[in-house]
């Protein structure tokens, strides 16, 4: 056997596969203990902490005030993790990591659905199911968002499970009734869970994607699929009602107005929440999320477009498969429809953030994976190279997490400032922002932030605002979070004296007292 043949045999061996996926699991949970980053992770983690401390699984609050921006699935995962591990950064992110791995598992089942029989790994010798899972756990978008205490991966996993369930049902033969109904049950159940994850897109996307798929494939849903609407939609509604019903019964119009009107429709149709981007924003963000598989992604998209055009120009879309390419065509067309619906939908949104497009990434991985598999089948060296690119990606991520992320997180977070306050004996002192608001402080200065009547953090607009705040606090000292560039303004009021006790990144922490 040649050296290359030995490498191919090794890369296909059960030992290699087990080692690779153990490495992937390690990467997904490695380094989740770094400080919470940005404005969102600390706020969401604090909302879950407040629900956890109240033993309340229904009403999200931030600083004791209602926080109806997002539904509850992320908070439920965090509450469960807080119960297991205690309140910590690791616990706040644990559910996201699980959902990232769950997304890869779903793609395994998607690849398995197009195998022509249970014993044939396929003509190339490459098992498509394992190939897609391998690429999923080494794709940048999944790796990044599975490490964050945010809602994007929390939506992506149930949407992926729902759509893969439908695809399995759609590809089930007439004699596979049990398999088809199991797939449909998964489709509707996880649709309802997706609604608890992110709202109405959880039900809009699956139906829109399925409809677009049948248009592109020139097929009509089977009778059992059409009839499933009568029992499946109630299943989805029942699942979603686990949170929406008690929320409505408890909060009524306040919930409807803030959650649906403001944070669904106004967020989509306007720039109210200050995240404007050009229309084409997601057309370059999505490809970047497929790294290191970007060339295969572009190749997969181009091949999908050609197959769809061919489908419309050369006969019936449901013709019997004649070769491997035809066997894979339904999966390719389904992935193209799946990728396209969120891409177009969010491109029209008035508010755009990179994570919005994450539900398209599993579909992009399928397109890239099918193309990469056919590319690799042409030579043993290509197959080995792709497998080792996946390993290299995971190793690079470990290196970044170990050597670069901790210092970045420390500078981005106010955790260091909170630790300094505790070491100086100021652990119970209340906190206000001086010429700034720092949302990272929600978690690390929990329960100590001055707030407005509407529940927002208090911001002092200048030195003259410091003495009134101190008198409001009974003359006791208060802590101030500020940007380092504003330190020079601290002692400009004769009634107050301020001392900087710590700096972290661009922020500083000062103690203010009356003179």
**Beta-carbon neighbour count of residue 305 at 10 Å?**
12
**Residue at a domain's end among 386, 407, 428:** 407
DSSP single-letter state for residue 256: I
In the three-class reduction of DSSP (H, G, I as helix; E, B as strand; rest coil), residue 102 is classed as helix
Residue 233 maps to a domain: yes
The model's pLDDT over 405-425, given as tens digits with 9 standing for 90+, comes to 999 999 999 999 999 999 999
pLDDT band at 323; cut points 50, 70, 90: low
For helices 361-376 and 128-137, what crossing angle results, to 10°? 120
What's the 3-state SS for 60-93? CEECCEECCCCCCHHHHHHHHHHHHHCCCHHHHH
Same domain, yes or no: 203 and 127 = yes
Are 375 and 497 found together in one domain? no
Q: Are residues 433 and 466 in the same domain?
A: yes
Is 7 inside a domain boundary? no
Last residue of a domain, one of 407, 429, 457: 407
Same domain assignment for residues 393 and 430: no
| Judgement on whether residues 500 and 351 belong to the same structural domain of the protein | no
State whether residue 172 is helix, strand or coil: coil
In terms of domains, do 296 and 212 share one?
Answer: yes
pLDDT of residue 312: 84
Q: Is residue 5 included in any domain, yes or no? A: no
Radius of gyration, CA atoms only, the chain: 26
Q: Are residues 442 and 334 in the same domain?
A: no
Ordered DSSP codes for 383-404: HHHHHHHHHHHHHHHHHIIIII
What's the pLDDT at 316?
54
Residues 108 and 210 in one domain: yes
What is the distance between the alpha carbons of residues 305 and 209, in angstroms, rounded to a whole number? 16
Structural domain includes residue 102: yes
| Residue 190, token pair as written in the block | 């996880």
Q: Same domain for 379 and 239?
A: yes
Regarding whether 276 and 162 lie in a shared domain, the answer is yes
Q: Is residue 6 part of a domain?
A: no
* Residue at a domain's end among 356, 383, 407: 407
User: Which pLDDT score, from 0 to 100, does residue 117 have?
Assistant: 42
Q: Collect all residues with Cβ–Cβ distance below 8 Å to 206 and sequence separation of at least 6.
A: 159, 162, 163, 166, 187, 191, 194
**Is 1 inside a domain boundary?**
no
Q: What is the pLDDT of residue 274?
A: 55
Number of domains in the chain: 2
Please state the three-class secondary structure of 117-133 as a single string.
CCCCCCCCCCCHHHHHH
Residue 413 half-sphere exposure, CB side, CA atoms within 13 Å? Answer: 25
Same domain? For 360 and 504 the reply is no
Q: Which domain holds residue 314?
A: 20-407
List, in sequence order, the alpha helices (H) in 172-293: 177-198, 201-217, 223-251, 253-255, 267-269, 281-289
- Which two three-digit tokens encode residue 411? 């500078």
Q: pLDDT tens, 230-276? A: 999 999 999 999 999 999 999 999 999 888 888 776 665 655 555 67
Tell me: do 254 and 375 sit in the same domain.
yes
């Amino acid at each position: 056997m040649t050296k290359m043949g030995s490498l191919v045999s090794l890369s296909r061996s059960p030992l290699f596969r087990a080692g690779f996926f153990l490495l992937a699991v390690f990467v997904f949970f490695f380094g989740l203990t770094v400080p919470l980053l940005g404005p969102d992770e600390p706020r969401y983690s604090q909302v879950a902490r407040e629900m956890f401390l109240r033993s309340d699984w229904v009403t999200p609050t931030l600083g004791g005030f209602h926080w109806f921006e997002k539904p509850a699935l992320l908070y439920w995962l965090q509450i469960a993790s807080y119960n297991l591990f205690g309140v910590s950064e690791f616990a706040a992110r644990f559910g996201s990591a699980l959902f990232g791995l769950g997304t890869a598992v779903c793609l395994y089942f998607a690849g398995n659905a197009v195998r022509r029989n249970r014993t044939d790994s396929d003509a190339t010798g490459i098992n498509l199911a394992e190939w897609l899972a391998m690429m999923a756990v080494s794709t940048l978008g999944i790796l990044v968002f599975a490490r964050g205490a945010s809602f994007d991966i929390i939506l992506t996993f149930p949407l992926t499970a729902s759509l893969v369930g439908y695809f399995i049902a759609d590809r089930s033969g007439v004699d596979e009734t049990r398999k088809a109904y199991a797939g449909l049950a998964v489709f509707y159940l996880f649709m309802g869970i997706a609604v608890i994850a992110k709202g109405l897109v959880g039900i809009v996307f699956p139906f829109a994607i399925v409809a677009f798929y049948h248009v592109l494939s020139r097929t009509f849903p089977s009778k059992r699929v059409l009839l499933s609407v009568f029992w499946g939609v109630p299943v989805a509604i029942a699942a979603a009602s686990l949170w929406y019903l008690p929320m409505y019964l408890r909060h009524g119009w306040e919930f409807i107005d803030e959650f649906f009107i403001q944070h669904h429709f106004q967020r989509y149709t306007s720039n109210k929440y200050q995240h404007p981007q050009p229309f084409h924003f997601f057309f370059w963000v999505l490809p970047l999320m497929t790294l290191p598989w970007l060339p295969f992604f572009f190749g997969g998209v181009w091949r999908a477009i050609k197959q769809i055009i061919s489908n419309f120009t050369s006969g019936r879309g449901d013709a019997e498969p004649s070769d491997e390419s035809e066997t894979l065509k339904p999966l390719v067309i389904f992935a193209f429809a799946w990728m396209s619906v969120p891409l177009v939908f969010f491109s029209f949104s008035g508010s755009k953030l990179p994570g919005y497009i994450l539900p398209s990434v599993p579909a992009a991985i399928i397109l890239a994976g099918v193309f990469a598999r056919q590319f690799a089948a042409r030579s043993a060296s290509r197959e080995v190279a792709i497998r080792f690119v996946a390993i290299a990606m995971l190793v690079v991520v470990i290196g970044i997490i170990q050597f670069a992320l901790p210092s970045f997180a420390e500078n981005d977070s106010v955790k260091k400032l909170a630790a300094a306050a505790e070491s100086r004996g100021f652990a119970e002192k209340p906190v206000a922002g001086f010429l700034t608001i720092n949302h990272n402080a929600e978690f690390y200065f929990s329960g100590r932030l001055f707030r407005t009547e509407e529940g927002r953090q208090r911001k002092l607009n200048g030195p003259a605002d410091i003495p009134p705040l101190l008198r409001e606090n009974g003359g006791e000292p208060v802590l101030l979070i500020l940007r380092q560039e504003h330190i020079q303004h601290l002692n400009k009021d004769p009634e107050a004296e301020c001392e900087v006790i710590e700096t972290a990144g661009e922020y500083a922490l000062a103690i203010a007292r009356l003179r």
